[in-house]
Amino acid sequence: MAVLEGLHPVKHALRFGAELEVLVTRDPVALGRLAERLAPDLAEQLRQAHEVDPELFDQLAPLPPATGVIALARRPRLNAAEVIASAVPAPLVLLENPRDLGNVGACVRVAAGADAAGVLSTGSHDPWHPDALRGAAGLHFALPVVGLESLAPLDGAARPLLALDPDGEELDPGRLPRQAILAFGTERDGLSEELLARADGRLRIPMRDGVSSLNLATSVAAVLFAWRLSGGPATRR
């Protein structure tokens, strides 16, 4: 299940086809007004929320959302190999061992906004953790988001694997393959030697001298929107 805390995550999840199992609010009238203002296309669905006692509502999340709505949605069944083999003409984002779940969510949000083909994530953190869903504003339902236990699913992939690395060639968004897998490492350590050895190429984001790195989500945004603005999504779906 996916925990959706607040109006924006619930709104985005519904817009992209999420199946809600439970939808609750502490104030149906206030939620109705908010829906009419921020999500009129979903106002009727949001009116179906069950009212719960405010004291109970405040126990449903570590930080109860100010918009007064929480939902549980069924997570889509996704297969990493199928996502990687997808013919969608847009890049896949690969996050190697990200440490901050809010940042993972921000990467998903950026990828959804840029119309990327999906987000893959390695390491111990579940990319569908409530903190990541909060950071993504529920946009996990807008594109495939899959956790990988290892890099093995990349073996034999038709998509070229491009590593974002300070020692790579300067990024030229117009030359990015439409179906690239764009790999991003942590801000402190970058990408692992294992992943760099697998890469078909290395790219760097041009930056001012003396600036050592960018925030993970900022790096993902810079590359994806450079691709998008270069005409990348012209033949997308």
pLDDT in tens, 145-155: 999 999 999 99
Q: Say how far apart CA 192 and CA 196 lie, in whole Å.
A: 6
The rounded radius of gyration (Å) of the Cα atoms in the chain is: 19
pLDDT at 235: 45
Q: How far from 56 is each of 30, 52, 64, 160, CA to CA, in Å?
A: 17, 7, 10, 50
When mean pLDDT is compared over 10-19, 179-188, 207-216, the highest value belongs to: 10-19
Task: For 158-198, write each residue's pLDDT tens digit.
Answer: 999 999 999 999 999 989 998 999 999 987 788 999 999 99
The pLDDT confidence band at residue 230, using thresholds 50, 70 and 90, is confident
pLDDT at 233: 59
Write down the mean pLDDT value for the chain: 93
Give the list of residues 6+ apart from residue 128 with CB closer than 8 angstroms, or none.
Answer: 2, 75, 140, 145, 147
Task: For 74-118, write each residue's pLDDT tens digit.
Answer: 999 999 999 999 999 999 999 999 999 999 999 999 999 999 999
Percent of the chain whose pLDDT exceeds 90: 87
Beta pairing partners, 74: 19
Cα-based torsion angle of the residue sequence 206, 232, 165, 185 in order, rounded to the nearest 10 degrees? 120
Domain spans, the chain: 2-74, 80-235
Pick the CATH number of 80-235 from 3.50.50.60, 3.40.1280.10, 3.40.50.1370, 3.40.50.150: 3.40.1280.10
Q: Which helix (H) or strand (E) holds 163?
A: strand 161-170
Give the list of residues 6+ apart from residue 78 with CB closer than 8 angstroms, or none.
Answer: 144, 145, 146
The pLDDT confidence band at residue 237, using thresholds 50, 70 and 90, is very low
pLDDT at 123: 92
Please state the pTM of the whole predicted model.
Answer: 0.92
Neighbours of 78 (CB within 10 A): 13
